[in-house]
Chains A and B, each alone.
Chain A
Amino acid sequence: MNSPPSTKSKKANSGWHRRHDLPWLVIFVIPAFIIVVAVQFYPLAYSAFLSVQDWVLTESQVPKGFVGLDNFAKELSDHIFWRAVRNSIWITGGALILEMFLGVCLAYLTMGSSWRMRAIRTLLILPMVIAPVAAGTLWRILLNSRAGLVNHVLDMIGIKGPEWLATADGAIVSVIMLDTWQWTPFVLLVVGAAIASIPADLLEVAAIDGASRWKTFLHIELPLLMPLLLLTLVFRMLESLLSLDSIYSLTFGGPGYSTYTLTYYIYTLGLRSFNFGAAAASSWIFMLFASFSIGLVFWFQRKDW
C-alpha cells in the first residue's frame, strides 16, 4: 500500500489483481459485518426506539406507546440517577488517580530485563487476568469488617478498621481499592512498554549533561510519554465507568444505593425492574458522555504529537 511498484508491468499486473481480488475481499468481510450489524447496530437502534416508549415489562408484554422525551425528563429529575452519576465520578476518579500514579511508579521500578524483574512483572499482572466477578468475591472476603484480613492487618498496626462494606463511604472506597488492585497492572504494562522504547542514548546524553534523574524524567521522558499517558487515562476511565461485574459481586450496589454506578443503575433498572423505557433513556444520556470520551481516544490515537 505504501510502496510504489517498481516497474510498469508490475503496476499493470497488480492493477488487474486489484479488480480481480475485490469480490473475494468483500466476501471476507461479510460474516464479520453481518454479526456487527445484527448484534451491535440493530440493538442500538432498538434501544433508541425504546428510549421514547413507555414500557415496563412487568406491566405489559409490548410497548405501551410513544411518550416523546418523558423518559429522559423523568431520569434527569430522578435523584437516584444523579446519585449514580456522583458515585461513578467518585469511584472512577479515585481509581484513576491511584492507578495512574501507582502504575507509572511500578513501571519505573520494574524496568529491565533481568529474570528477577521479569518474574516480578509476571506476578504483578496476575490481578488483571482474574474474572472481575471473582475479584469482587475475593475482596468481599478480605474486607469483611469483623473477620476480614484487611481489618486484621490494620488491627495489628493499631488502626481500627472501618465497616468497609456496610457504610456508604467505606463501600465506595472498597470499590476504588478493588478497581485499583485489578487494573493498576494495565497501566504498568502499557507504560512499561513505552518506557522500554525510549531510546537509551537520549537518557545518556541527559546524564552526561549532568541532569539529575528527576530532571531527566520531568523534561525528557514525561513529555515523550504524555500522549500515551493521556490515552491510557481515557481508556481506563471508560472501562472503569462501564464495569458492572466487580460491583455486582463486591457490594451488589449497596449498602442502599451507595455504590450504584451509572452502569449498575441502568442494569438494575432494565433487568431487575424491567423498566425498559427508563433504562434506555438513561443509557442514552450516559452514551453522550461516553461518545465524547471515545472521540477523545480516537483523537489521541491519530494525533501527530
Chain B
Amino acid sequence: MGRNKSPKQRLLALLHGLILLVACLVVIIPLTYLVINSVKLPREFLTVPPTILPSEVTFQHYQELFEDSKTLRHFRNSLTVTLWTTGITIVAGTLAAYGLARMRLSAMILAGVTFVFLFIRFYPRVTTVIPFFLVMREMDLLDTVWAIIIGQLGITIPFVTWLMLVVFQDLPLEIEEAAIVDGANVWQRFWRVVLPIAMPSVAAAAILTAFLSWNEFLIASSVARRKASVLSIAVAGFVSDKGIQWGPMAAMSVVMIVPMIVFALFAQKYLIHGITFGAVKG
C-alpha cells in the first residue's frame, strides 16, 4: 500500500492490469466482431485481410431476417416456450420444494431425493431424447411448442426444486410458528410467511430457468423442426444448410444473444446467486 511502491510491486501491478485487460478483450472483441459482421455488406465477408471496420453499415441482414415470417415465428416461439417453462417451473418447483422440506423426511430419503435431482441434472440427456420424441409422436404433440415446454420442464423442475429445497431447509420452522398459533394452514403459511422471505431465491431460480429455456437446443431440435421451431434451431440451421450465409447467421445470433446479455446485466446479482448456488450447495 501507500505511494512509495517498490519497483517490483509496480511491475506486478502493471502485469496484473495487463492480464485483466487481455481477459476483457478476449470477451469483448468476439462479441463486438459478431455485431460488426451482422451489419457488414456481403462482399466484405470473406475478404483477406478481414474487414474489421466495414466501409458502410447496412441493416439489410436484419431486414431480410425480419421480412421472412419464419424469423418472427422463431422469436415468438422462443418467447412462448421461455415464459411458459419459467412460469410452470417456478410454481411446481417451489411448491414441491416446500412440501419436501416440511415433510420431515428421514435423512436417508432426503439423500435419495437429492441424488435423483443430481442424476437428472447430469445424466446424458441424449439417452431420453428419442423415447421422448416417440412419446410426443404418440401424443400427437410433435412440432408444437408444448412438446418443447414439456421436455424442458423435465429438466427445469427438478433443478428448481433442488435449489429451493436447500433454501427452505435453511429457513427455521420458528418463522412459521406465529402463523401456526394463529391457526393458519400450510398453504397460508407458505404463501404469506415463507414465500415472501424466500423471494430473492425464487427470483434467482426464475432467471436461471429463463436462461436455460431460451438457450436450450437439444430438446427443441429433437421435437420441433418446422412450425414450432425456436431461435436456437434457427441459429444452428445456418450451418447445416448448403453454404453458410454469414450475414444472416451473424444477425440471427445477435438477435438471440442480445436479450440475454441485457437481461444478465440487469439481473446479474440473481443470476450469479443461482449459478454459484447450484454448484456449491448440495
Q: Return the 6 tightest CB-CB contacts between A and B, nearest first.
A: A301-B282, A39-B154, A28-B99, A32-B96, A46-B131, A43-B131
Which positions 7-53 of chain A face chain B at CB distance < 8 Å? 10, 13-14, 17-18, 21-22, 24-29, 31-33, 35-36, 38-40, 42-44, 46-47, 50
Cβ–Cβ contact A109 & B134, under 8 A: no
Question: Which one, B41-49, B55-63, B66-74, B197-205, is touching chain A?
Answer: B41-49
Cβ–Cβ contact B232 & A133, under 8 A: yes
Q: Is B132 an interface residue (CB 8 A)?
A: yes
In the assembled complex, the CB of B47 is this many whole angstroms from the nearest CB of chain A, namely 6
Q: Is B53 an interface residue (CB 8 A)?
A: no
Residue of A nearest to B169 (CB): A1
How many angstroms from the CA of A139 to the CA of B249 in the assembled complex? 12
Which positions 103-125 of chain A face chain B at CB distance < 8 Å? 105-106, 109-110, 120, 122-125
Which positions 123-182 of chain A face chain B at CB distance < 8 Å? 123-134, 136-142, 144, 146-149, 152, 155, 181
Interface size class of B (residues with CB under 8 A): 35 or more
Contacts of A25 in B (CB 8 A): 98-100, 102-103, 186
Q: Is A224 an interface residue (CB 8 A)?
A: no
Cβ–Cβ contact A123 & B236, under 8 A: no
- Pick the contact of A123: B27, B172, B281 (CB < 8 A): B27
In the assembled complex, the CB of B104 is this many whole angstroms from the nearest CB of chain A, namely 7
How many angstroms from the CA of A25 to the CA of B214 in the assembled complex? 31
Contacts of A130 in B (CB 8 A): 215, 257, 260-261
Residue of B nearest to A14 (CB): B180
Cβ–Cβ contact B134 & A46, under 8 A: yes
Q: Is A60 an interface residue (CB 8 A)?
A: no
Q: Is B246 an interface residue (CB 8 A)?
A: yes
Cβ–Cβ contact B153 & A35, under 8 A: yes
Q: Is A91 an interface residue (CB 8 A)?
A: no
How many angstroms from the CA of A1 to the CA of B268 in the assembled complex? 33
Contacts of B115 in A (CB 8 A): 294, 298
Cβ–Cβ contact A137 & B217, under 8 A: no
Residue of B nearest to A284 (CB): B127
Contacts of A18 in B (CB 8 A): 104
Q: Is B140 an interface residue (CB 8 A)?
A: no
Contacts of B236 in A (CB 8 A): 133, 136-137, 245, 248-249
A-B contact pairs, 28 of them (CB 8 A): A3-B172, A3-B174, A24-B185, A24-B186, A28-B99, A29-B103, A36-B158, A47-B130, A123-B24, A131-B232, A132-B215, A181-B26, A189-B272, A190-B279, A238-B122, A245-B217, A245-B218, A249-B238, A249-B239, A263-B124, A266-B124, A270-B126, A270-B130, A276-B130, A283-B126, A298-B114, A301-B118, A302-B111
Contacts of A218 in B (CB 8 A): none
Contacts of A217 in B (CB 8 A): none
Residue of A nearest to B98 (CB): A28
How many angstroms from the CA of A39 to the CA of B204 in the assembled complex? 24
How many angstroms from the CA of A293 to the CA of B122 in the assembled complex? 9
Q: Is A232 an interface residue (CB 8 A)?
A: yes
Contacts of B282 in A (CB 8 A): 297-298, 300-302
How many angstroms from the CA of A156 to the CA of B33 in the assembled complex? 17
Q: Which residue, B34, B93, B174, has most C-beta atoms of chain A within 10 A?
A: B34
Residue of B nearest to A13 (CB): B180
Cβ–Cβ contact B102 & A35, under 8 A: no
